[in-house]
Amino acid sequence: MKILLVEDDLETAAYIARGLSEIGHSVDHSASGREGLVRAVGEKYDVMVLDRLLPEVDGMAILRATRAAGIGTPVLLLSALNGISDRVRGLEAGSDDYLVKPFAFTELAARVAALGRRPPPQEIPASSLKHGGLEMDIEERRVTRDGTRIELQPREFRLLEVLLRHAGRLVTRTMLLEQVWGFHFDPKTNIVETHISRLRSKVDRGFTRPLIHTVRGAGYSLEDRT
């Protein structure tokens, strides 16, 4: 696993990093909260081992900032504070586990492994989508293209949302049946083709370049081929 270790005590950090590396993990170490926060937000990690008391930006602030940014990386919080209220505050701030110093490395390694076995966190879906002059506000249920409002029926809106979330990539007919209609079988109808045709008439008609393209024998793609 790729692990981010944020620990300002260099002796403790070296001990943890060496132990985790010896059992096959890749470890990036940050000695300050500020550097740790930059890495936590800017890079992808499987697990973060985070000291609670850090210079510049403390561990609790890092936790809150990463969770607010929609980053769900599992976090093991390290702290010398061992009261129940301290543990509760750490968990409420967004940590997944809490380990009190001093600790045995074997316990830390086991907790890291347990966090790494958890299913990957669900990404928080974007509330707005944009591609090729086409803009969709999910919350307001509003779609515009080059500033012109496009009125869509609920199923058309969902269909366009799926295409936008996969902009520039192939979206198969099976994917659309599952994600738009909830079908996990082929209904043997032209329901997808009919709705794509209606959506095209609203999204592409009157504009100089089409955005919705048919990939023959495979599905559809939403691309601005300029």
Q: What is the pTM of this model?
A: 0.54
Full domain range(s) for residue 197: 128-222
Q: What is the mean pLDDT of residues 70-99?
A: 87
What does the alpha-carbon distance between residue 160 and residue 166 come to, in Å, rounded to a whole number? 10
- Picking from 59, 82, 116, the residue at the C-terminal end of a domain is 116
Give the model's pLDDT for residue 125: 60
Q: What is the mean pLDDT of residues 40-55?
A: 91
Query: Do 9 and 59 lie in a common domain?
Result: yes
In 3D space, the residue among 30, 34, 25 whose CA is nearest the CA of residue 10 turns out to be: 30
The pLDDT of residue 123 is above 60: no
Query: Do 43 and 133 lie in a common domain?
Result: no
The pLDDT of residue 129 is above 60: yes
- Picking from 116, 144, 174, the residue at the C-terminal end of a domain is 116
Q: Which amino acid is at 5?
A: L
* C-alpha torsion 178→181→185→191, nearest 10: -120
Query: Do 81 and 158 lie in a common domain?
Result: no
Query: Do 162 and 133 lie in a common domain?
Result: yes
Percent of all residues in the chain with a pLDDT value above 70, rounded to a whole number: 96
Instruction: Provide the domain count of the chain.
Output: 2
Give the model's pLDDT for residue 118: 74
Q: Which residues of 173-184 are buried (b: 16+ CB within 10 A; e: fewer)?
A: eeebbebbeeee
CATH of the domain at 15: 3.40.50.2300
* Across 2-11, 155-164, 216-225, least confident range: 216-225
Give the model's pLDDT for residue 68: 78
The pair of structure tokens assigned to 4 is: 């981010």
Contacts of 113 (CB under 8 A, 6+ apart): none
